[in-house]
């Protein structure tokens, strides 16, 4: 890859679930001017008090290397894994999408939801809330299609990711 | 061993004692009164009362940098902690091991905007290697020990422990240091063998090699410095040191080219520019070293050894990056070099040295002596000459005087040079000297400072007096913020905006007011006597030397320029300007 080419990477970080750890990670990104396209965090092992942070970021190969090295040297960080480099991985995001419409637009939104396997998790006479799960690109596409159909609010979780096959962190 | 239940303050003091701490630099206040009470009751740990919390951290840095041990700071909550921030940032930038205990309001008041509450862990997160807020007494002892481990291992740095008052007053179990093991933090010390082998092969094939070494070698310890010297002599290559690395290799050695970087020597920078294999050891390619990255050592292969993975490939991509402790890696390098009977080709090395001698012959550090006005460089050289036969430690403030000290005082050993490199903190010099003198009561400690810098922690004169610390503070008084004036001259059309020291105090009277001797000197002929007198006085002295106010610090790589476009003193008329908008936007 060209040294100046910017590419997107999904990085998983296993951390001790102690207070301030998320602030450390976010502070590192803002303080050093790195991008955060998406960031999710939740405890994954209650007994071991470990959380997993998934960050989608972008940069030149050198910047991506820096990001990983900087993350690795944070004291509460157990492990940093670049899922984009580690091989094939699964990336999923969940979005709740509110569409306020009536008549043909309302019906059309239902039809598109069906194609995208999005579920209506709330409905009133004037609105739907769709739940859609998929890759960020799929969700982007869904949202784009909803735009002319009364799209009025979006809540997205950000990306959770894991490598395919037997490979673990 | 059974757990002992103590008070929180007792746990803190016990942990300090078990960590081998001899001295704490601090300043009391409401939130840390229980700790001060405990300090009062014991005599194992000495407390040095500074006069400003920033100075406490710089003193701890001076102590740490001159001993290789961890420096310890104790300050109160709120303003105590915020005053310490500059020192912490300084220690972070220069990788100095410091543990800073900060008081905090009781846990139940945290978040309530209580009196003297500050979000200390929030504020210090970006300026520490790590920080802790102790909310659970069971974790107090463990946190104390862990803090020392984190501060001193790997790439050293400052660690803050925020201690709510109720934790200090309440009961807490004590745990011995050895019982603590860290789950996530385990810095690599041993370098990857195959990479070191590859690196030695690359170096052995060099025609124009150079070793470029920094503060990491000193942090690695005296043994690492010995190994560096052994290795350098063995391979016969030239070596240059960064500002932070001075003393890691003897300055008087013929393979030493002097300091590298913006105010480094001509021969160092030209050699860096023209080399074909560069070995960076414990040095981080700081912008003050590299100059314009687009033209940095354009025809070289680079090997970098650093304990911090994130220092490798950060600014400058390298061909081989070895993560490990410099001392360990140097040991392996020497073994491999010997085992493989490597030798840099003699003819090539010979003509490389000939080229270097050509650059050396420019005598880039020379300056014109004058009968009427004292040259600042001459002050440094004279003091170097006068202190040669005694154990001497040097601290500096920030500005031209700092660069002149770095250029003209030859450092033969590690740990003898304390300066604020990464952050460039004016006000560092005198408090750092306090810490050095406390650690080495019988040594000569000289602080080179400027007329502007000295004012930034002048209150520490009281600390010098109180503890009878016989620090020799030498003001290279050019009545300007000289370094600012120099940049204004070169980059801003000689418009000396706010850089003149309009109302300086009478430093003799000031010294006397604080209870020690003040001396002045303004004639070249009187300088040696003044220095002699200063060194003979058995107590603190401020020597105020009136130096040439027009003198600029050369050589200089102007910001944004490559190494081979250095300005040399002899090529400058004294009122030249650098024609570069690019340089103007850089710092
Ligand atoms: C705390 C702080 N504020 C501002 C600066 C910017 N600065 C760098 S050098 C300098 C002038 C220092 O003047 P002086 O102490 O007289 O030293 P000289 O350069 O004259 O030797 C200034 C203001 C700094 N480095 N640190
Ligand atoms: Mg000055």
Cα pseudo-dihedral B119, B125, B129, B133, rounded to 10: 40
Backbone torsions φ then ψ of B545, nearest 5 degrees = -105, 120
pLDDT tens digits for range A138-156: 999 999 999 999 999 999 9
As a three-state string, the secondary structure of B379-447 is HHHHHHHHHCCCCEEEEECCCHHHHHHHHHCCCCCCCCEECCCCCCCCCCHHHHHHHHHHHCCCCEEEE
pLDDT value at B560 more than 90: no
Cα separation, B44 vs B436, in Å, equals: 20
Whole-number pLDDT of residue B123: 98
B399 lines ligand 1 (CB under 6 A): yes
In this structure, the number of other CB atoms found within 10 A of the CB of residue B503 comes to 5
CA atoms within 13 A on the CB side of B463: 26
| Identity of the residue in A16, A20, A69 whose CB atom sits nearest the CB atom of B309 | A69
Cα separation, A118 vs B427, in Å, equals: 63
Interval B76-93 mean pLDDT: 98
Interval B110-124 mean pLDDT: 97
Give the chain A residue nearest B312 (alpha carbons). A66
pTM as predicted: 0.95
Residue B587 binned pLDDT confidence (cut-offs 50, 70, 90): low
pLDDT value at A3 more than 90: no
pLDDT value at B573 more than 70: no
Whole-number pLDDT of residue B498: 96
The DSSP secondary-structure symbol of B161 reads E
A51-71 in b/e form (b: 16+ CB < 10 A) is bbbbbbbebebebbbbbbbbb
Lowest mean pLDDT among B1-10, B20-29, B276-285, B532-541: B1-10
Determine what percent of chain A is predicted with pLDDT higher than 70.
99
B398 lines ligand 1 (CB under 6 A): yes
To the query of whether residue B483 is one of the catalytic residues in this protein, the response is yes
Residue with tokens 């306020």: A100
pLDDT tens digits for range A78-133: 999 999 999 999 999 999 999 999 999 999 999 999 999 999 999 999 999 999 99
pLDDT tens digits for range B474-484: 999 999 999 99
In this structure, the number of other CB atoms found within 10 A of the CB of residue B577 comes to 11
Whole-number pLDDT of residue B114: 96
Picking from B152, B183, B310 by the largest number of A CB atoms within 10 A of its own CB, the best residue to mutate is B310
Ligand 1: atom nearest CA of B449 is 15
pLDDT tens digits for range B417-432: 999 999 999 999 999 9
Whole-number pLDDT of residue B186: 87
Cα separation, B11 vs B13, in Å, equals: 6
The answer to whether the beta carbons of residues B431 and B439 sit under 8 Å apart is no
Whole-number pLDDT of residue B583: 59
Cα separation, A72 vs B337, in Å, equals: 32
Residues of B in Cβ contact (< 8 Å) with A66: 310, 313-314
Q: Which two tokens stand for residue B63?
A: 């102590």
pLDDT value at B580 more than 90: no
As a three-state string, the secondary structure of chain A is CCCCCCEEEEEEEEEECCCCHHHHHHHHHHHCCCCCCEEEEEEEECCCCEEEEEEEEEECHHHHHHHHHHHHCCCCEEEEEEHHHHCCEEEEEEEEEEEECCHHHHHHHHHHHHHCCCEEEEECCCEEEEEEEECHHHHHHHHHHHHHHCEEEEEECCCEEEECCCCCC
Cα separation, B159 vs B71, in Å, equals: 10
| Identity of the residue in B121, B133, B313 whose CB atom sits nearest the CB atom of A62 | B313
pLDDT tens digits for range B500-544: 999 999 999 999 999 999 999 999 999 999 999 999 999 999 999
Residue B136 binned pLDDT confidence (cut-offs 50, 70, 90): very high
Q: What is the mean pLDDT of chain B?
A: 96
Q: Describe the crossing of helices B53-67 and B429-439 by its angle, rounded to 10 degrees.
A: 50
Whole-number pLDDT of residue B576: 55
Which element (helix H / strand E) includes B38?
helix B33-41
Whole-number pLDDT of residue B574: 53
Cα separation, B289 vs B153, in Å, equals: 25
Which one, of B30, B31, B28, lies nearest residue B39 by Cα?
B28
Q: What is the mean pLDDT of chain A?
A: 96
pLDDT value at B180 more than 70: no
Ligand 1: atom nearest CA of B399 is 19
Cα separation, B128 vs A22, in Å, equals: 16
């Amino acid at each position: 890859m060209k040294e100046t080419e910017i590419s997107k990477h999904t990085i998983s970080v296993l951390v001790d679930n102690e207070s301030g750890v998320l602030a450390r990670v976010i502070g590192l990104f803002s303080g050093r001017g790195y991008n955060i396209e998406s960031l999710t965090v939740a405890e994954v092992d209650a007994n071991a008090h470990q959380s997993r942070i998934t960050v989608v970021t972008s940069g030149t190969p050198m910047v991506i290397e820096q990001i990983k090295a900087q993350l690795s040297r944070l004291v509460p960080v157990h492990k940093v894994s670049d899922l984009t480099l580690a091989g094939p991985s699964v990336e999923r995001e969940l979005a709740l999408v509110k569409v306020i419409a009536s008549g043909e637009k309302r019906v059309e939104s239902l039809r598109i939801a069906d194609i995208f396997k999005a579920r209506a998790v709330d409905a009133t006479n004037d609105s739907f809330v769709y739940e859609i799960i998929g890759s960020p690109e799929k969700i982007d596409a869904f949202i784009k299609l909803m735009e002319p159909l009364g799209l009025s609010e979006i809540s997205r979780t950000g990306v959770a990711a894991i490598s395919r096959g037997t490979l673990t962190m | 061993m059974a757990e002992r239940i103590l008070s929180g303050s007792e746990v803190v003091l016990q942990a300090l004692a078990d960590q081998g701490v001899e001295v704490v630099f601090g300043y009391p206040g409401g939130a840390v009164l229980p700790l001060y009470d405990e300090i009062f009751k014991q005599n194992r740990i000495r407390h040095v009362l500074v006069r400003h919390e920033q100075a406490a951290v710089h003193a701890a840095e001076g102590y740490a940098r001159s001993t290789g041990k961890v420096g310890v700071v104790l300050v109160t909550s709120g303003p105590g902690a915020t005053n310490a921030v500059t020192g912490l940032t300084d220690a972070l930038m220069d990788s100095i091991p410091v543990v800073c205990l900060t008081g905090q309001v009781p846990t139940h008041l945290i978040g309530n905007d209580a009196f003297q509450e500050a979000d200390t862990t929030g504020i210090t997160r970006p300026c520490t290697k790590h920080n802790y807020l102790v909310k659970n007494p069971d974790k107090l002892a463990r946190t104390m020990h862990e803090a020392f481990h984190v501060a001193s291992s790997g790439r050293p740095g400052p660690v803050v422990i925020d201690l709510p008052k109720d934790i200090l007053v309440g009961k807490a179990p004590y745990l011995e240091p050895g019982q603590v093991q860290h789950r996530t933090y385990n810095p690599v010390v041993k370098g990857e063998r195959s990479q070191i082998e590859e690196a030695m092969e690359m170096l052995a094939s060099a025609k124009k090699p150079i070793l470029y070494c920094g503060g990491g070698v000193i942090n690695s310890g005296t043994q690492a410095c010995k190994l560096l010297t052994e290795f350098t002599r063995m391979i016969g290559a030239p070596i240059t040191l960064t500002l932070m690395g001075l003393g890691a290799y003897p300055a008087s050695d013929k393979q030493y080219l002097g300091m590298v970087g913006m105010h480094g020597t001509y021969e160092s920078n030209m050699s860096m520019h023209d080399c074909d294999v560069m070995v960076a050891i414990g040095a981080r390619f700081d912008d003050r070293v590299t100059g314009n990255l687009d033209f940095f050592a354009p025809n070289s292969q680079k090997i970098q050894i650093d304990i911090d993975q994130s220092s490798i490939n950060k600014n400058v991509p390298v061909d081989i990056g070895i993560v490990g402790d410099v001392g360990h890696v140097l040991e392996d390098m020497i073994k491999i070099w010997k085992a493989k009977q490597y030798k840099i080709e003699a003819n090539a090395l010979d003509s490389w040295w000939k080229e270097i001698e050509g650059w050396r012959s420019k005598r880039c550090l020379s300056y014109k002596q004058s009968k009427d006005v004292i040259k600042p460089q001459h002050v440094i050289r004279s003091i170097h000459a006068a202190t040669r036969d005694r154990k001497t430690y040097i601290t500096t403030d920030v500005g031209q005087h700092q660069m002149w000290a770095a250029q003209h005082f030859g450092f033969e050993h590690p740990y003898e040079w304390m300066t604020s490199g990464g952050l460039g903190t004016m006000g560092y010099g005198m408090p750092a000297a306090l810490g050095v003198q406390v650690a080495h009561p019988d040594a000569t400690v000289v602080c080179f400072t400027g007329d502007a810098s000295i004012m930034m922690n002048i209150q520490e004169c009281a600390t010098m007096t109180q503890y009878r610390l016989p620090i020799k503070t030498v003001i290279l008084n050019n009545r300007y913020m000289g370094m600012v004036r120099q940049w204004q001259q070169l980059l801003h059309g000689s418009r000396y905006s706010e850089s003149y020291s309009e109302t300086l105090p009478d430093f003799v009277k000031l010294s006397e007011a604080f209870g020690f001797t003040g001396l002045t000197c303004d004639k070249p002929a009187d300088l040696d006597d003044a220095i002699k007198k200063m060194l003979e006085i058995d107590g603190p002295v401020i020597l105020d030397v009136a130096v040439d106010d027009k003198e600029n610090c050369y050589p200089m790589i102007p910001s944004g320029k490559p190494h081979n476009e250095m300005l040399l003193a002899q090529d400058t008329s004294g009122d030249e300007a650098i024609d570069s908008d690019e340089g103007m936007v850089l710092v």
